């Protein structure tokens, strides 16, 4: 796989074509001296359980992995914490109001967006919601449904980090 820095051909500060590899993590402009470090984007994932010990699952409405299972979540906005981001994403995709969050773990990931491979750090949260019975699919979610934890099969989920996250959640965070 080609390194993501190769997708950047022009200096984002001055527009120079003399934008060359500086080291494994950065490029440098030979004209203005700007050094660009390619860092991952922050993304969130929500584990939402109801009183029947079922997990809220979505079906992806968009690529990548359109039509496969997923969990609510998405990219953090600028000036937003991970907790604020997961609350906003849950609201946008399900209509649910998150009342509390608990950070569980993070995983590195890649996400193909419009032909551009975005490196992410996916932050997984256990979220409590005010009324789990009042939700509906919106935004990036084509469908919402509840799956009993014992029926979860990570291979049914279309994104690598979600599959790994569900496996880790089932193995380490259930009492």
DSSP 20-42: EEEETTEEEETTT--EEE--PEE
Active site residues per annotation: 143
| Host H or E run for residue 45 | strand 41-48
Nearest to 55 by CA among 156, 160, 159: 156
Nearest to 35 by CA among 45, 50, 44, 25: 25
């Amino acid at each position: 796989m080609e390194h993501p820095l190769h997708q950047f051909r022009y200096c984002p500060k001055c527009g120079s074509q003399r934008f060359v590899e500086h080291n494994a993590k950065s490029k440098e402009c030979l004209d203005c001296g700007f050094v660009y470090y390619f860092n991952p984007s922050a993304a969130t994932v929500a584990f939402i359980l109801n009183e029947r010990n079922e997990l809220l699952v979505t079906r992806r409405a968009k690529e990548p992995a359109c039509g496969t299972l997923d969990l609510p979540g998405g990219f953090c906005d600028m000036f937003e914490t991970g907790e604020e981001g997961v609350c906003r994403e849950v609201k946008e995709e399900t209509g649910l109001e998150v009342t509390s969050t608990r950070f569980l773990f993070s995983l590195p990931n890649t996400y193909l967006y419009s032909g551009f491979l975005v490196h992410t750090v996916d932050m997984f949260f256990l979220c409590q919601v005010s009324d789990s019975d009042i939700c509906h699919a919106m935004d990036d979610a084509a469908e919402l449904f509840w799956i009993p934890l014992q029926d979860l099969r990570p291979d049914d989920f279309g994104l690598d980090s979600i599959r790994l996250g569900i496996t880790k959640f089932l193995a380490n965070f259930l009492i």
